[in-house]
Chains A and B, each alone.
Chain A
Amino acid sequence: MRINLDSDACQGHNRCYMLAPELFDTDDEGYAILRIDGEIPKDLEEKAMLAVDNCPEFAIEVADD
Chain B
Amino acid sequence: MTRRSVTIVGASLAGIRAAEALRRQDFDGSITLIGDELHAPYDRPPLSKQFLAGDWGEDRLALTQPDKLDDLDLELRLGVRATSFDLASRRLGIVDLDDQGCSGRGGRGGEEFVVDGLLIATGARCRTLRGSEGLDGVFVLRSLDDSLAIRAAFDAGPTRVVVVGAGFIGAEVAATARTQGLEVTMIESLPQPLSRVLGDEMGAVCAELHREHGVDLRTGVGVEAIEGEDRVERVRLSDGSVIEADVVVVGIGVVPNTEWLEGSGLRIDNGVVCDATCLAAPGVTAAGDVARWPNQRFGEVMRVEHWDNAVSQGAHAAGRLLVGDDEAEPFVPVPWFWSDQYDRKIQMAGRIGPDDEMHVATGSLAERRFAAIYGRAGRLVGVLGFNRPRHVMRYRMLIESGTSFSDAVAAEF
Contacts and interface: CB of A to CB of B under 8 A. Distances in A.
Contacts of B388: 28
A27 B390 contact: yes
Given A18-B308, A30-B389, A49 B338 contact: no
B17 A21 contact: no
B197 interface: no
A29 B315 CA distance: 29
B407 to A, nearest CB: 18
Interface in B341-357: 345, 347
Contacts of A15: 308
Contacts of B397: 21
A21 B393 contact: yes
Given A25-B390, A50-B315, 14 more contacts: A14-B338, A14-B393, A18-B336, A19-B311, A25-B393, A26-B389, A26-B390, A28-B388, A46-B24, A49-B24, A53-B20, A53-B64, A53-B68, A56-B43
Among all A-B residue pairs, the 6 with the closest Cβ atoms? A30-B389, A26-B390, A26-B389, A14-B389, A18-B336, A17-B393
B397 to A, nearest CB: 6
Interface in B5-46: 17, 20, 24, 43, 46
Contact of A56 (B24, B60, B345, B396): B60
B312 interface: yes
Contact of A19 (B64, B308, B389): B308
B315 A26 contact: no
B242 to A, nearest CB: 40
Interface of B: 17, 20, 24, 43, 46, 60, 64, 68, 308, 311-312, 315, 336, 338, 345, 347, 388-390, 393, 396-397
Contacts of B43: 56
A1 to B, nearest CB: 12
B308 A30 contact: no
Contacts of B338: 14
Contacts of B393: 14, 17-18, 21, 25-26
A50 B20 CA distance: 9
A12 B338 CA distance: 12
B19 to A, nearest CB: 11
Contacts of B315: 50
Contacts of A46: 24
A26 B64 CA distance: 24
Contacts of B24: 46, 49
B252 to A, nearest CB: 27
A25 B358 CA distance: 25
A54 interface: yes
Given A18-B396, A30-B345, A46-B24, A54 B311 contact: yes
Nearest to A45: B24
Given A49-B24, A53-B20, A19 B390 contact: no
A56 to B, nearest CB: 7
B51 to A, nearest CB: 11
A19 to B, nearest CB: 7
Max count, chain B CB within 10 A of own CB: residue among A19, A21, A46, A54: A54
Contacts of A26: 389-390, 393
Max count, chain B CB within 10 A of own CB: residue among A14, A21, A25, A46: A14
B308 A28 contact: no
Nearest to B390: A26
B312 A30 contact: no
